[in-house]
Amino acid sequence: MPNIIELTDLSMPELDIYARLSEVQLRRYYEPDAGIFIAESPKVIVRAMDAGYKPISLLVENKHITGEAKELIARCEGVPIYTAGMQILTKLTGFQLTRGALCAMRRCALPSVSEVCAGARRIAVLENVVNPTNVGAIFRSAAALHMDAVLLTPACSDPLYRRAARVSMGTVFQVPWTYLDDVSILKKLGFKTAAMALSEQAVSVDDPNLMAEEKLAIILGTEGDGLAPQTIAECDYTVCIPMSHGVDSLNVAAASAVAFWQLGKC
């Protein structure tokens, strides 16, 4: 039997996680243990649950209780489901809920780099990509275009931030990922490294030698500045996407899709 609670008091402390705590605060909610994240939209929430993440509570627009969120609610027996009209929920959260549903979920401990890369042939590495929309879009491309895993440097935006997970369409819960401090560990794991960067020495993304590599890590840099010079210098390849009409580069999310498509099909 669903535990549906009609909202009458928006100051309830149980609603702090949706209304009055930042995503950074949620991430540290249970320190030193893993904290909380907010998943948005029924599809994203279901994919998180399929991956083993446990719901704490849900916030659902009342018209979706028997609509788009019906399947989700059926899987949340005993979980508090707070509900109200869209106007009230927007007032509470400060934004309009996508598909009328949010879910507070417990984070899981992240695997090691070695665990994530075990058996992988093609992986994506993000260096200091700080925009959550770009992180989410890259994960969606990674899932669709044959990347086996994603690694992120600590300065990257958190893939479990609400916007990143939503833009990814929940693929952050399907593609193995974790953080890494030192890209050099990839060579110890048998990967050749390909820095996506503008350089006169760069090879094309369809270079036969590059495509023939058995294990390849495709490294993408931060918005604007791209990869750090030291990262580029330490990579086995510097790789570019051929351009036309005087365009010198693509947005990092767009570039990732092109690179993943070309190199993921090898």
Chain segment 109-162, per-residue pLDDT in tens = 999 999 999 999 999 999 999 999 999 999 999 999 999 999 999 999 999 999
pTM of the model: 0.94
Beta-carbon contacts of 129 under 8 Å, excluding residues fewer than 6 positions away, are: 135, 138, 152, 156, 157, 220, 221, 222, 223, 252
The span from the CA of 161 to the CA of 23, in Å, is 7
Listing DSSP states for 78-139 in one string gives TSEEEEE-HHHHHHHHSSPPGGGEEEEEE--PPPPHHHHHTT-SEEEEESS---HHHHHHHH
pLDDT mean over 60-80: 92
On the question of pLDDT at 1 being above 80, the answer is no
**How does pLDDT run across 208-255, given as a tens digit for each residue?**
999 999 999 999 999 888 999 999 999 999 999 998 988 888 999 999
Q: What is the mean pLDDT of residues 167-181?
A: 97
